[in-house]
């Protein structure tokens, strides 16, 4: 093993160690940043749920439960909380009255945008000083991770 590949190995270890811890911290500061704004009653999990419900596509309860891997009962409880706090509404689907479509209220949309802006800021900081080809590499790395996740979880 020569000096260069040793150095690369060290970099691998740095990256691996770093990744293990970073996301936890991100989750935490996401929540604390949101609480500094005027959304004081939102947890990181609820933020995640608001993000998943999203701005445009009126997902159903089942879709959201599948995406987040929550049981239907758990999601119902979470949705009750977010509805009570005024971030989401349930809309009964008129074509198929078994289905509930989920939408963000205007308050929910504000929260969504604040959260999204935070992520944008994070990515900007992360990639500051990078040029177009560096960014392409970064994108490639993330796609590789997605592929890996796909393989491991059986696509």
Residue numbers at the binding site for a copy of itself (CB under 8 A): 4, 7-8, 11-12, 14-16, 18-20, 22-29, 32-33, 48, 51, 68-69, 116, 119-130, 132, 134-149, 152-153
Residue with the two structure tokens 């970099």: 11
Task: Check residue 71 for interaction with DNA (CB under 7 A).
Answer: yes
In terms of CB distance, is 74 or 130 closer to a copy of itself? 130
Three-state DSSP class for residue 20: helix
Least separation in angstroms between residue 142's CB and a copy of itself is 5
Q: Which residues pair with 60 in a beta bridge?
A: 101
Q: Which does 66 bind (CB under 5 to 8 A by kind): a copy of itself, DNA, none?
A: none
| Count, residues in the chain | 155
Task: Check residue 72 for interaction with DNA (CB under 7 A).
Answer: yes
d(CA 55, CA 48): 13
Q: Which residues pair with 100 in a beta bridge?
A: 92
Q: Which does 42 bind (CB under 5 to 8 A by kind): a copy of itself, DNA, none?
A: none
CA distances from residue 106 to 26, 50, 55, 110 in whole angstroms, order as listed: 25, 12, 10, 6
d(CA 106, CA 87): 8
Binding site for DNA (CB under 7 A): 43, 45, 60-63, 69-81, 90, 95-101
């Amino acid at each position: 093993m020569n000096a260069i590949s040793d150095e690369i190995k060290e970099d691998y270890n740095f990256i691996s160690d770093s990744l293990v811890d970073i996301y936890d911290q991100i989750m935490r500061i996401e929540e604390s940043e949101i609480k500094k704004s005027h959304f004081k009653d939102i947890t990181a999990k609820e933020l995640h749920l608001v993000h998943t419900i999203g701005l445009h596509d009126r997902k159903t309860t089942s879709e959201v439960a599948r995406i987040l891997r929550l049981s239907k009962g758990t999601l119902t409880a979470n949705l009750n909380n977010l509805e009570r706090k005024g971030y989401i509404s349930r809309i009964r689907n008129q074509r198929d009255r078994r289905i509930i479509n989920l939408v963000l209220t205007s308050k929910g949309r504000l929260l969504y945008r604040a959260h999204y802006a935070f992520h944008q800021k994070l990515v900007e900081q992360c990639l500051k000083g990078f040029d177009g080809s560096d960014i392409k590499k970064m994108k490639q790395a993330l796609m590789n991770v997605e592929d890996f996740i796909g393989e491991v979880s059986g696509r």
